[in-house]
């Protein structure tokens, strides 16, 4: 009887005993900063030269195929455009003059828009109603000049970092508020299948001086329509060396 009482008392006391656990802690805040990243990789010669030293070249023009390759990687929706510019924009910079003759008929203000581009593949994220939205159309045959004005002429601006309007050409993406206007985030590194892709572009260049050299395909967009920038009848391009700059600008879609 006494033994039973002791066992019961021990069990009763045991159920009422608790032991507090010692605890200490320190915290560190983890910050993740997702900066927008846009990377444009370009493979191209430092100089792309067009040397017109034969009458046939003046008449038929010179084309540089696959002269520039563009590869895009971006963490945000993006637009890509090309712009022709110079210190004398909208004209080429004249570096060397070969002849001072020709009187008033020899012109050295040569329009930047005489440079034509062709891109492959086409702009997949146009989203606009623009008549000409990229450079994917084939170069026009010389004997059709002027043909479709502005079809391949480069976008020209004195402020190259101001994006083109909705009426101007983009390589990929476009100006506008629609979700389909900008190309989605991604990279040429992760796209499956064969290239080119929406992140990989091959650029051809062409210049056709014509004979006389008046640049019959030169045209600029004004108010949604393209207007010829060909030299006036009786004028011709003054012989010499001229330079211009082509900028490829990758921006976050707005």
Instruction: Please check the confidence at residue 120 and state whether its pLDDT lies above 50.
Output: yes
Q: Quote the pLDDT of residue 14.
A: 53
pLDDT digits (tens, 9 = 90+) for 152-207: 999 999 999 999 988 899 999 988 766 678 899 999 988 765 556 889 999 999 99
Average pLDDT over residues 89-97: 96
Lowest mean per-residue pLDDT among 71-85, 109-123, 180-194, 204-218: 180-194
The kind and range of the H/E element at 200 are strand 200-207
Q: Quote the pLDDT of residue 12.
A: 47
Q: Quote the pLDDT of residue 191.
A: 73
Q: Quote the pLDDT of residue 107.
A: 94
Q: Quote the pLDDT of residue 1.
A: 46
Q: Quote the pLDDT of residue 167.
A: 85
Instruction: Please check the confidence at residue 54 and state whether its pLDDT lies above 60.
Output: yes
Spans of all domains in the chain: 32-252
Average per-residue pLDDT for the chain = 88
pTM of the predicted model as reported, rounded to 2 decimal places: 0.86
Q: Quote the pLDDT of residue 5.
A: 45
% of the chain surpassing 70 pLDDT = 87
* Residue 20 confidence class, pLDDT cut points 50, 70, 90: confident
Instruction: Please check the confidence at residue 118 and state whether its pLDDT lies above 80.
Output: yes
CA distance 231 to 242: 16
CA distance 157 to 155: 7
User: 39: how many CB neighbours lie within 10 A of its CB?
Assistant: 12
Q: Quote the pLDDT of residue 197.
A: 80
> Before 123, cis peptide (omega within 30)?
no
Instruction: Compute the chain's Rg from CA coordinates.
Output: 32
């Amino acid at each position: 009887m006494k033994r039973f009482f002791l066992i019961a008392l021990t069990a009763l006391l045991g159920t009422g005993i608790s032991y507090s656990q010692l605890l200490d802690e320190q915290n560190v805040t983890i910050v993740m900063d997702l900066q927008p990243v846009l990377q444009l990789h370009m493979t191209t010669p430092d100089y792309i030269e067009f040397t017109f030293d034969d009458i046939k070249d003046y008449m038929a023009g010179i084309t540089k195929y696959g002269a520039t390759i563009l590869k895009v990687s971006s963490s945000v929706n993006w637009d890509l455009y090309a712009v022709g510019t110079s210190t004398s924009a909208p004209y080429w910079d004249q570096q060397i003059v070969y002849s001072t003759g020709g009187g008033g008929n020899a012109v050295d203000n040569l329009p930047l828009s005489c440079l034509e581009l062709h891109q492959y593949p086409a702009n997949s994220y146009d989203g606009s109603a623009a008549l000409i939205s990229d450079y994917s159309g084939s170069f026009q045959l010389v004997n059709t000049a002027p043909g479709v004005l502005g079809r391949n002429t480069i976008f020209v601006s004195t402020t190259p970092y101001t994006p083109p309007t909705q009426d101007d050409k983009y390589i990929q993406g476009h100006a506008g508020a629609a979700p389909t206007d900008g190309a989605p985030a991604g990279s040429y590194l992760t796209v499956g299948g064969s290239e080119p892709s929406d992140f990989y572009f091959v650029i051809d260049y062409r210049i056709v001086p014509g004979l006389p050299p008046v640049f019959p395909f030169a045209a600029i967009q004004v108010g949604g329509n393209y207007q010829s920038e060909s030299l006036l009848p009786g004028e011709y391009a003054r012989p010499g060396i001229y330079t211009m700059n082509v900028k490829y600008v990758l921006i976050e879609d707005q």
